[in-house]
Structure 1
Amino acid sequence: EDVRWGSYNNTSFARFFVHTGTHIDVPFHVDPEGFQLHEFSLSDFIFEHPVLMEFSKGDFEKITLEEVQAYEQELTKADVVLIYTGHSKIRDQDPERFVAKQPSLTVEAANYLVDNFAIRAFGIDTIGIENISEGKAASPIQFPVHKTFLLKKKQKSFVIEDLNLALLLGKKIRRFYAIPICFYGFEAMPVTAFAEVEA
């Protein structure tokens, strides 16, 4: 028996980990003084100049500075970078491998993107912008790629993780959106991510 329909309407409660599925991390994720989710405006989640970069990567492989530099011309106007590695193909069939063996960016590639372009958000089709176990073990700074993207410019930037970018391959993206529920005081939140593409 579905007790929810024992009355005149249906109501639900939702309890979830905010780093679940397609989600964003904001600076508060890696810095207690960083921007929190409620400090962002709606316009911060809308992008007029998205750039999709494709790199075929296997388990633990890195996206290098040289590979990212090949997109230099496209990046000059970019406000969001979307990185497709193909690792997302195994998400449903082998979720443990998807989480544990994800490819990621090198710190050098992350610094290049942050230092040279006016990019506000960085998205990827893996569970994180850097391999979680490698980021945790990094020395002298843990999670250096996260901290490069989220803290280096001291601005309202964010990363978008676990994106399904296969739908955008081969398409010209006109506009990109990553819209969260804006609760007070959070460091991350699932988002509805979608794009406008040319017909």
Structure 2
Amino acid sequence: MEPVDLTRRLEPGMPVYPGDPGVSAEPSATMDEEGYRVTGLSFTTHVGTHVDAPAHMEPEGATLDEYGIADFRFDARLVDLADGDGLERREPITPAMLPDDAGDADLLAIRTGWGDYWGDERYFDHPYLPPAAARHVADLGCAVGLDAINPDPTPTPRASDDEPEGVPAHHELLGAGRFIVENLALGGDLPERFTLRAYPLRVDADGAPVRAVAE
């Protein structure tokens, strides 16, 4: 297959996790004044299509610099939950919806269908992984990629009282040393198996934006 870009564009006004600062891109040098262009960028380590390292949630978790570049090349298996009737708003993704055996895959790319709402308020009311489902994925030895902003429920006024509190899916996955790749643009034309290259910016941090490419 030809390489497929699964990356969301970094730009001002893009969706960010509620309460996080947005993206800014301001000229620091212009063609008219300096004779060349330079843009000053400001964003967090968890903006756009990005990878969470264990240090994001785990007090003793590893940062990105503790991994080699090959650790961000994944044998991915697509789990397409957007087929048929699809998922409902804020629906839990149960272990029964996920494979019992990942085979030789080391990342489950979960297509919820909520990527279609990128740029809309509905994007924040995505389906989520309850602790048991996240634990199931970790036990399979897999990382998780999602077309959503969060494997846990994202706080919005439409949250219900029976949703998990905090970020238990993050803890289940990151605590087991499994990466989380969020805000993937998982289109409907991906094959069931592909290689996902999600190379982060080279920064020793709790996460970073990636250029995510399926091959």
TM-score, normalised via structure 1 length: 0.81
| Structure 2 residue 134 is the aligned partner of structure 1 residue 110 | yes
> Which position in structure 1 is the counterpart of 2:4?
none
> Which position in structure 2 is the counterpart of 1:144?
168
> Which position in structure 2 is the counterpart of 1:188?
207
Q: What does 1:129-168 correspond to in 2, within 5 Å?
A: 129-133=151-155, 138=164, 142-151=166-175, 153=176, 155=177, 157-166=178-187, 168=189
> Which position in structure 2 is the counterpart of 1:53?
79
Q: CA deviation at 1:7?
A: 2.5
Q: What does 1:90-105 correspond to in 2, within 5 Å?
A: 90-92=117-119, 94=120, 96-99=121-124, 101-105=125-129
Per the alignment, in what secondary structure is the counterpart of residue 136 of structure 2?
helix
Per the alignment, in what secondary structure is the counterpart of residue 14 of structure 1?
strand
Cα distance per residue 1:100-139 (max 9 Å; x no partner): x111112111111212x222x21000111111237xx845
What is the aligned counterpart of 1:78 among 101, 105, 113? Answer: 105
For 2:59 and 2:182, the matched residues in 1 are separated by 21
TM-score, normalised via structure 2 length: 0.75
Count of residue pairs the alignment pairs up: 177
CA contact (8 A) 1:77 1:118 kept: no
Identical aligned residues as a percent: 29
Q: What does 1:115-134 correspond to in 2, within 5 Å?
A: 115=139, 117-119=140-142, 121-133=143-155
For 2:189 and 2:66, the matched residues in 1 are separated by 30
| Structure 2 residue 81 is the aligned partner of structure 1 residue 62 | no
Segments of structure 1 that go 5 or more residues without pairing to the other structure are none
Structure 1 letter corresponding to 2:213:
F
For 1:168 and 1:124, the matched residues in 2 are separated by 16
CA spacing shift, 1:138–1:41, aligned 2, 3 Å:
same
Q: CA deviation at 1:97?
A: 2.1
Per the alignment, in what secondary structure is the counterpart of residue 90 of structure 2?
coil
For 2:30 and 2:193, the matched residues in 1 are separated by 42
Per the alignment, in what secondary structure is the counterpart of residue 114 of structure 1?
helix
Q: Which runs of 4+ in 1 moved over 3 A?
A: none
For 1:18 and 1:11, the matched residues in 2 are separated by 21
